[in-house]
Each structure stands twice: as structure tokens, then as C-alpha cells.
């Protein structure tokens, strides 16, 4: 599950990041069963560190 997600991130938002997905400092993941008609997906939050803190959310990715 995580390998495919990280591979996709390396081709998109981490494409120009030094080290690509190795720039990740912390990662938490859980699997939950889908119990409704809502399409399954990923909730992703990316926090940029350094000069400023920026949160980007990609619900349903």
C-alpha cells in the first residue's frame, strides 16, 4: 500500500525534492475498512519544514 503511494508521490509532488521520498521525516499509516458507498482513497497531509510551515491536504487522493 505505502510503496505505491510513495512511488506516485515521487513522480508528482516530490519530483524535484532532494532525495524524493527520503525527505519524509515522519509517516503514519493505518488501514480502515470501507463501510459506506464512499469511494476509498487516501487522506494525505504534507507539511513543509524550513523557512515556513505549510500544510497541504489531498483528501481522496
pTM check: above 0.75: no
Residue 42's nearest CA partner among 5, 8, 13 is 5
Question: Which pLDDT tens digit goes with each residue over 4-58?
Answer: 888 888 888 888 888 888 788 788 888 878 787 777 777 777 777 765 445 555 5
Q: Dihedral angle at the C-alpha atoms of 11, 17, 18, 23, nearest 10 degrees?
A: -90
pLDDT recorded at residue 58: 58
Amino acid at each position: 500500500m505505502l510503496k505505491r503511494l510513495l512511488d506516485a508521490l515521487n513522480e508528482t509532488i516530490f519530483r524535484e525534492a532532494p532525495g524524493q521520498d527520503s525527505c519524509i521525516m515522519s509517516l503514519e499509516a493505518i488501514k480502515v475498512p470501507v463501510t459506506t458507498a464512499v469511494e476509498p482513497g487516501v487522506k494525505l497531509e504534507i507539511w513543509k519544514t524550513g523557512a515556513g510551515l505549510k500544510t497541504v491536504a489531498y483528501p481522496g487522493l
